[in-house]
Amino acid sequence: MKTCASVKNVCKLFSLIFSMITFLYVVYIVVVEKTYLPGGPFMLPLLRSKELKTLCSSNWTGETIVHLKNSRTYVIGAYLDLRSRSLIRVIGITYRYEQEPLFCDFCFHGTNETVPAEIEIHSDHFQFPYGTTDLLCNLKDSRIPQYIYLHAANYPSNIVFKVHNIEQMHNPPSRFEYDFLLCISALFGSYNNVLQFIQSMEMYRMLGVQKVILYHTDSSSILKQLLTYYIKQNFLELIPWPITTYINVSSGWHYPEHPGDLHYYGQTAALNDCIYRNMYRSKYIALNDIDELILPARHKNWNELVDYLQHSNPDASVFIFENHVFPVTFVNQSKPDPEEWKSVPGVNIIRHDHREPNDPSEVNPTKLILNPRDVVRTSVHTPLDFSGQEYRVPRKIAQLCHYRQPKKKEITDDMLIEDYILSPFENALVERVNSVVGQLELLKLEQTENLLPVAV
């Protein structure tokens, strides 16, 4: 009798444990994995979710730019966007003159649901034949696929894209990894302006930038080593940007004066991708080029500056900074290069303390610091689609300093305006640059290569 009772108890115990495990497994699949299968959760034990996930994700290339076969469309990234409606926003580049229909297949493990992609080409294509586009894949119900296929009609693709921002869209972090992240689009050619690159990176750090994201097409071999240095410092992330293997890009900004099929190395596609990719990593994202610095005139750094701006403009989600060109042809002779920098190729921004006067009747190529979660689409100089307000920051508060070749050829030296906005930072900048240059020498990075011509 006793044995029989204990066998029963053991049976009960086992069935209890079995039920518990099944229950927990179903909860895990439905809640944690967020995957749903045909036939409802009762089918689940028959299908191992992990295997299906692998099947869906197996052809995810992880490459930054993917050509959709049988189309003139290139895909960069897929991001969940529940802000105005439920959709997956795919950022891409497409041929504007003729648009082939494209489709999104949601990878729902076993089922195949196809919806046509709504193609919304960004308005800032600068007249080039190709332009940045959003491909909007509308979700039909509350299910959210972790992977999607994109393809042209009658041309099923086997290239899968991972859908990003799913977790964060549902549970936005209350604190961000960074306060300021900076997106720099497209470093290309044999870019070798090493000194200015170091100066800009060190200035960004001093100003409060915690991470720089650089879309990298190409650069000189010294510069590549410098990139490695900053990656190791955990200050830089490179996004490979092999756009030139796909499209004849223009190195200018307007068609047809600047030949090519796509505006400036696909700059707007990179910037939009950068915003979505980092939307939940950083409180603010800044968009400017490597030869540009947003400098506060009254504050020590961006933290103080943007705190002040946000406090006085609580509804602002985009801060716009006026561009001022500091021509590198005008040199302040009383500020010689420190001895340690003589072997480093590139521009020393400290020596260029005069700016061109701006013509108020001309459009100013402003640059931005924005709250990425309020931005839907951006151009290079202004946001295109966003919620909240934009605030144009007066020059007496901050300005964008652009250290480059003269923009207005007719301006003579005596017409330039002296501007010492960089002065409060100069001593610290020299020390920081000395330290980097010293470390690079230790690593014996330049040597023979410092004779390469400087691309400014």
Ligand X SMILES: *[C@@H]1O[C@H](CO)[C@@H](O)[C@H](O)[C@H]1NC(C)=O
The site for ligand X (CB under 6 A) is made up of 55, 58-59, 105, 112, 114, 149, 156, 158, 247-248, 261, 332, 334-335, 418
Distance (Å) of CA 49 to CA 7, 43, 224, 241? 34, 11, 42, 34
Considering only CA atoms, which of 309, 357, 337, 323 is closest in space to residue 433?
337
Q: Please, are residues 347 and 195 in contact by the beta-carbon 8 Å criterion?
A: yes
| Beta carbon nearer to ligand X, 353 or 446 | 353
> Strands, E, within 200-291: which ranges?
211-216, 236-240, 282-287
C-beta of 302: minimal distance to ligand X in Å?
24
| Beta carbon nearer to ligand X, 149 or 180 | 149
| Beta carbon nearer to ligand X, 55 or 121 | 55
C-beta of 247: minimal distance to ligand X in Å?
6
CA–CA distance, 79 with 73 (Å, rounded to integer): 17
| Beta carbon nearer to ligand X, 190 or 248 | 248
C-beta of 393: minimal distance to ligand X in Å?
25
> Strands, E, within 122-252: which ranges?
130-138, 147-152, 160-164, 178-187, 211-216, 236-240
Cβ-closest residue to ligand X? 156
Q: Please, are residues 339 and 389 in contact by the beta-carbon 8 Å criterion?
A: no
C-beta of 261: minimal distance to ligand X in Å?
6
Q: What is the DSSP letter of 154?
A: T
C-beta of 236: minimal distance to ligand X in Å?
30
| Beta carbon nearer to ligand X, 252 or 388 | 252
C-beta of 309: minimal distance to ligand X in Å?
28
| Beta carbon nearer to ligand X, 111 or 190 | 111
111-116 and 102-108 beta bridge pairing: antiparallel
CB burial of 288-316 (b: ≥16 within 10 Å; e: otherwise) equals: bbbbbbbbbeebebbeebbeebbeeeeeb
| Beta carbon nearer to ligand X, 3 or 158 | 158
Residue partners of 10: CB distance under 8 A and separation at least 6: none
| Beta carbon nearer to ligand X, 6 or 58 | 58
C-beta of 237: minimal distance to ligand X in Å?
28
Residue 145 CB coordination number (10 Å):
27
Q: Please, are residues 63 and 103 in contact by the beta-carbon 8 Å criterion?
A: no
CA–CA distance, 23 with 219 (Å, rounded to integer): 55
C-beta of 156: minimal distance to ligand X in Å?
3
